[in-house]
Chain A
Amino acid sequence: MTTVVEVNGLTKRFGKFTAVDDVSFRVEENTIYGLLGRNGAGKTTMMQLLTGQQFASDGSIRVFGQSPVENAAVLGNICFIKESQAYPDDFKPRHVFESAPWFFQNWDAEFANRLISEFRVPVNRRIKKLSRGQLSAVGVIVGLASRAPLTFFDEPYLGLDAVARQIFYDRLLEDFGEHPRTVILSTHLIDEVSALLEHVLVIDDGKLIIDENADTLRGSATTISGTKSTVEAFVGKRTVLHREGIGGLSSITVEKLDSADRTAAASAGLELGPVSLQQLIVRKTSIPEAEFGAQS
């Protein structure tokens, strides 16, 4: 594996507010990362730091082995698609697609045209007049067709309907399969994208709280349900991630069970239930479930 991004002790303060707080992690080449967290957790600031758009208060950032700040050689390999992207006044989508190839060496015009028709982007309408979803589609198309070795998508699908979002996920996977690259996708729609991700970074209050392979994370917890006494007896001294109960029934989420555990639980008449990535993140963090899944 090759490391594309290496961050050590990264901190970003805006006055007294610490947006990113002593964060360290690595990003490996040709992997799809999920940068997850609630709104205002520091996801956008993190991406802006990695792309040289913001200046770090402390710590170091290495992208392709160099600092990204004002570094044309590094930035030339990066595409950063932001939910709130500003466009030049009176630009039309066709201006965006016409100029993108001048900046992205790997730009695939044919792929872009296919995406334009799939997302039904009106290329000759002023960007100011586009719907929220059409605007997001413009960004998504640039992010996909640019095939930048390091692509950032920051909540790229605001206003896109379920069908359009599915097109985005499908095309991302397809194209990633043929042209592997490193993708960092920030989102709060965890359940929707979880199968796309190979690695998960969860940020909360500016701190990195989970840095884990998505599949490892997914299998790392189980919910055990049954009568209260049986469940409690089985759980014993295990680490409890979450606890729920009604009357004499109890449901407890614990960390990974091995197959002997599972057999024992089944023999004790306990029911073992799945924990989704989203639930898991909710349970491993202080983030309320309502922060995820809602299309804002």
Chain B
Amino acid sequence: MDDSRPIFLQIAEAIENDILAGNLHEETQVPSTNEFAAFYRINPATAGKGVNLLVDDGILYKKRGIGMFVATGSQARLVKKRREQFEAEFVRPLIAEATKIGLSQAQLVSMIQAAPIHEGDTV
């Protein structure tokens, strides 16, 4: 956990990442709030807030008396959400910076194509 942003958001993101990476499959149970709290060394109430955020988003759902489960279709929805975020947080600033230093769109595209991609570097 980094200390800069609300921790519950970071927890929610961490769970999302696990779903995206396929570590948490759809319709499987996720760890309890207390387990998250102990693992990430954070306050259980904060962990609960992160989990609840995903419940509100429909990514997780509650089975009464059993626990939290990953909802069907959540992986696809997360991919869509993250792609939108990617555009806002990376692509637009990238274009802004490129414009500032006089790169045309075509030049930018070819730079990206030329840049090496290491499989291991992807999240």
Contact = CB atoms under 8 A, between A and B. Distances in A.
Is there a direct interface between A and B, measured as CB atoms under 8 Å apart in the complex?
Answer: yes
Interface of A: 31-32, 169-170, 173-174, 176-178, 180, 191, 194-198, 214-216, 218-219, 259, 263, 266-269, 273-278
A198 B1 CA distance: 15
B41 A274 contact: no
B4 A266 contact: no
B38 interface: yes
Interface residues of B, number: 28
8 contacts: A32-B45, A195-B3, A195-B42, A198-B46, A214-B43, A215-B8, A266-B89, A273-B4
A173 B45 contact: no
B88 A263 contact: yes
B9 interface: yes
B95 to A, nearest CB: 9
Contacts of B41: 169-170, 173, 195-196
Contacts of B89: 266
A196 B37 CA distance: 9
A30 to B, nearest CB: 8
B78 interface: no
Interface of B: 1-9, 33-34, 37-38, 40-46, 49, 88-89, 92-93, 96-97, 100
Contact of B96 (A176, A214, A268): A268
Contacts of B4: 218, 273-276
Contacts of A195: 1, 3, 7, 40-43, 46
A252 B46 CA distance: 28
Contact of B3 (A169, A170, A173, A191): A191
A178 B46 contact: no
B59 to A, nearest CB: 19
User: 9 smallest A-B Cβ distances: which pairs?
Assistant: A274-B4, A177-B34, A276-B3, A266-B93, A215-B6, A219-B6, A195-B42, A267-B96, A198-B43
A79 B75 CA distance: 47
Given A170-B41, A174-B34, A276-B3, 7 more contacts: A194-B3, A195-B3, A196-B41, A196-B42, A218-B7, A266-B96, A268-B96
B6 A177 contact: no
Contacts of B92: 263, 266-267
Contacts of A275: 4
Nearest to B35: A177
A269 B46 CA distance: 33
Residue among B33, B44, B97 with the highest chain A CB neighbour number at 10 A: B44
Given A198-B45, A266-B96, A173 B38 contact: yes
A215 B46 contact: yes
A283 to B, nearest CB: 13
A197 B43 CA distance: 6
A198 to B, nearest CB: 5
A173 B5 contact: no
Nearest to A194: B3
B45 A31 contact: yes
B44 A177 contact: yes
A276 B1 CA distance: 11
A170 B7 CA distance: 17
A259 B33 CA distance: 28
Contacts of B37: 173, 177
